[in-house]
Amino acid sequence: MGWNTSALFARGEDVLALLPVPVTPTGATATADEATSGLAEEVVYVSRAEEWQQLWDPSVIHLADADTGQNSLSVFFFGVSSSYGFILVEDGEVVRRLIYVDGEPSIDEGEPLPIEAEIPHPSWGPDEDWVWAIIKDVTGITYDEDRIFEVYACQD
């Protein structure tokens, strides 16, 4: 699929409060496809359906400097450059940071999550399925094409 996007999942916190820029609701909604892979740079997409709120920033601009919060999972998919990774924060502390570039780990900090040993690695390295396996294991959330997201404008 070649995803190029980033997301922040936060448990017990308002995911919008973790952004480094103020946002305002647009009143619009978006499909899961648009939210997870849209090209708009001035908006983010939020779903609050579960215990874990999720915020997608396909431009990756706004999540780069986001606060990690107390309990969060940040992920990114860069299919074009074969870069995939995640940062897991528990009780305000980074407990796992794993970033792959061109199939090789470039940052590998913290104890591996048990799920990491169970995820198949294609010969070219981790991919979108790998990231989604991490998301599902940590948050219980899977890709749901019927999910509707609220659209927020970023005030840079």
Nearest-angstrom CA–CA distance, 54 and 104 = 27
Going from the C-alpha of 26 to that of each of 16, 30, 43, 155, the distances in angstroms are 14, 11, 9, 12
Model confidence pLDDT, tens digit, residues 95-127: 999 999 988 899 999 999 999 999 987 777 888
Sign of CA dihedral 102, 94, 131, 151: negative
Tell me how many helices (H) and strands (E) the chain has. Answer: 3, 9
Going from the C-alpha of 43 to that of each of 55, 123, 148, the distances in angstroms are 10, 35, 15
Model confidence pLDDT, tens digit, residues 5-57: 899 999 999 999 999 889 999 999 999 999 988 777 789 999 987 789 999 99
Side by side, the strands of the sheet bearing 93-101 are 23-31, 148-154, 43-47, 52-56, 4-11, 72-78, 83-90, 93-101, 104-110
pTM equals: 0.92
Nearest-angstrom CA–CA distance, 127 and 155 = 32
Half-sphere exposure of 123 (CA within 13 A, CB side): 0
- The first and second tokens of residue 18, run together, are 């973790």
**Do the beta carbons of residue 31 and residue 70 sit within 8 Å?**
no
